[in-house]
Chains A and B, each alone.
Chain A
Amino acid sequence: MNLVETIRIGLRGVTANRLRSGLTVLGILIGVAAVIVLVAVGNGSSLAVTQSIEKLGTNTLTIRHGSFGPPGSGGQTQFKDLTVADATALMDATVAPDVKSASPVVSSGTTCTFEGTSYDTSVTGTWPSYFEASNNTIASGDYFVNDDVVNSRRTVVLGQTVVDELFGTVDPVGSEIICAGTPFTVTGVLETKGSSGFSDSDDVIIAPLTTVQSHLTGYGSLDSILVQTASADVQEAAQSEVYAILDDRHDTTDTSSRDYQVLNQASLISTVEDTSQVFTVLLGAVAAISLLVGGIGITNIMLVTVTERTREIGIRKAIGASKSAIMGQFLVEATVLSIIGGVLGVLTAILVTRFQIAGTTPVILPISVIGAFGVSVALGLFFGSYPANRAASLRPIEALRHE
Chain B
Amino acid sequence: MTPVISLQQVTKVYGSGEATVHALRGVDLVVERGDYLAIMGASGSGKSTLMNIIGALDGATAGHYELDGINIDSLDESGLSIVRNRKIGFIFQSFNLIPRTTAQSNVELPLLYRGVGRKERAARATAALESVGLANRGHHEPNELSGGQQQRVAVARALVAEPSLLLADEPTGNLDSQSTKDVLDLMDVMHQQGRTIVMITHEDDVANRADRVITLIDGLVSADRWNRPRGQRSRTVTA
Q: Which residues of A contact B (CB under 8 A)?
A: 1-2, 5, 12, 16, 311-312, 314-323, 325, 395-397, 400
Q: Which residues of B contact A2 (CB under 8 A)?
A: 115
User: Chain A residue with minimal CB distance to B78?
Assistant: A322
B57 and A323 form a contact (CB under 8 A) = no
The verdict on B77 contacting chain A, using a C-beta distance below 8 Å, is yes
The verdict on B82 contacting chain A, using a C-beta distance below 8 Å, is yes
Partner of A321, one of B90, B96, B97, B113: B113
> Once the chains are docked, how many angstroms separate the CA of A397 from the CA of B55?
10
Q: Which residues of B contact A314 (CB under 8 A)?
A: 96
> Once the chains are docked, how many angstroms separate the CA of A12 from the CA of B101?
9
Q: Which residues of B contact A325 (CB under 8 A)?
A: 113
Q: Which residues of B contact A (CB under 8 A)?
A: 52, 55, 57-58, 77-78, 81-86, 88, 90, 92, 96-101, 109-110, 112-115, 157, 161
Shortest Cβ gap from A8 to chain B (Å): 9
Shortest Cβ gap from A228 to chain B (Å): 73
Shortest Cβ gap from B179 to chain A (Å): 21
**5 further contact pairs, Cβ within 8 A, besides A12-B100, A319-B84, A321-B85:** A320-B82, A320-B84, A320-B85, A321-B81, A322-B82
B113 and A320 form a contact (CB under 8 A) = yes
- Beyond A16-B100, A323-B78, A400-B96, whether A318 also contacts B57 by CB under 8 A is yes
> Once the chains are docked, how many angstroms separate the CA of A317 from the CA of B110?
10
A323 and B96 form a contact (CB under 8 A) = no
Q: Which residues of A contact B81 (CB under 8 A)?
A: 317, 320-323
A319 and B85 form a contact (CB under 8 A) = yes
> Once the chains are docked, how many angstroms separate the CA of A315 from the CA of B113?
12
Shortest Cβ gap from A9 to chain B (Å): 8
User: Chain A residue with minimal CB distance to B121?
Assistant: A5
Q: Which residues of B contact A320 (CB under 8 A)?
A: 81-86, 88, 110, 113-114, 161
Q: Which residues of B contact A316 (CB under 8 A)?
A: 98, 109, 113
Query: Interface centre among B82, B101, B113, B157, by most A CB within 10 Å?
Result: B113
Q: Which residues of B contact A1 (CB under 8 A)?
A: 112-113, 115
| Dominant SS among interface residues on chain A | helix
B57 and A397 form a contact (CB under 8 A) = yes
Shortest Cβ gap from B16 to chain A (Å): 16
> Once the chains are docked, how many angstroms separate the CA of A5 from the CA of B118?
9
User: Chain B residue with minimal CB distance to A15?
Assistant: B100
Shortest Cβ gap from B133 to chain A (Å): 22
> Once the chains are docked, how many angstroms separate the CA of A86 from the CA of B98?
90
> Once the chains are docked, how many angstroms separate the CA of A316 from the CA of B113?
9
Cβ contacts A to B, 15 pairs, < 8 Å = A1-B112, A1-B115, A2-B115, A16-B100, A316-B109, A318-B90, A319-B85, A320-B85, A321-B81, A323-B77, A323-B78, A323-B81, A400-B57, A400-B92, A400-B96
Shortest Cβ gap from A390 to chain B (Å): 15
Shortest Cβ gap from A290 to chain B (Å): 32
Q: Which residues of A contact B97 (CB under 8 A)?
A: 315
> Once the chains are docked, how many angstroms separate the CA of A16 from the CA of B109?
17
> Once the chains are docked, how many angstroms separate the CA of A325 from the CA of B114?
11
> Once the chains are docked, how many angstroms separate the CA of A104 from the CA of B96?
92
> Once the chains are docked, how many angstroms separate the CA of A322 from the CA of B80?
9
A312 and B58 form a contact (CB under 8 A) = no
> Once the chains are docked, how many angstroms separate the CA of A321 from the CA of B114?
8
Query: Interface centre among B92, B109, B114, by most A CB within 10 Å?
Result: B109
Query: Interface centre among B88, B92, B98, by most A CB within 10 Å?
Result: B98
> Once the chains are docked, how many angstroms separate the CA of A323 from the CA of B79?
11
Q: Which residues of B contact A12 (CB under 8 A)?
A: 100-101
A315 and B96 form a contact (CB under 8 A) = yes
- Listed from nearest, the 4 A-B pairs whose CB atoms lie closest are A320-B85, A397-B58, A320-B84, A322-B81
> Once the chains are docked, how many angstroms separate the CA of A218 from the CA of B78?
96
User: Chain B residue with minimal CB distance to A315?
Assistant: B96
> Once the chains are docked, how many angstroms separate the CA of A323 from the CA of B85?
13
Q: Which residues of B contact A323 (CB under 8 A)?
A: 77-78, 81
User: Chain A residue with minimal CB distance to B84?
Assistant: A320
Q: Which residues of B contact A322 (CB under 8 A)?
A: 78, 81-82, 113
User: Chain A residue with minimal CB distance to B101?
Assistant: A12
> Once the chains are docked, how many angstroms separate the CA of A40 from the CA of B169?
62
Q: Which residues of A contact B157 (CB under 8 A)?
A: 319
Shortest Cβ gap from A355 to chain B (Å): 41
> Once the chains are docked, how many angstroms separate the CA of A311 from the CA of B188?
29
Shortest Cβ gap from B100 to chain A (Å): 5
> Once the chains are docked, how many angstroms separate the CA of A12 from the CA of B98?
12
A319 and B55 form a contact (CB under 8 A) = no
> Once the chains are docked, how many angstroms separate the CA of A27 from the CA of B203?
54
User: Chain A residue with minimal CB distance to B154?
Assistant: A315
Q: Which residues of A contact B98 (CB under 8 A)?
A: 312, 315-316
Q: Which residues of A contact B86 (CB under 8 A)?
A: 320
> Once the chains are docked, how many angstroms separate the CA of A322 from the CA of B90?
16
Shortest Cβ gap from B150 to chain A (Å): 13
User: Chain B residue with minimal CB distance to A395?
Assistant: B58
User: Chain B residue with minimal CB distance to A312?
Assistant: B98
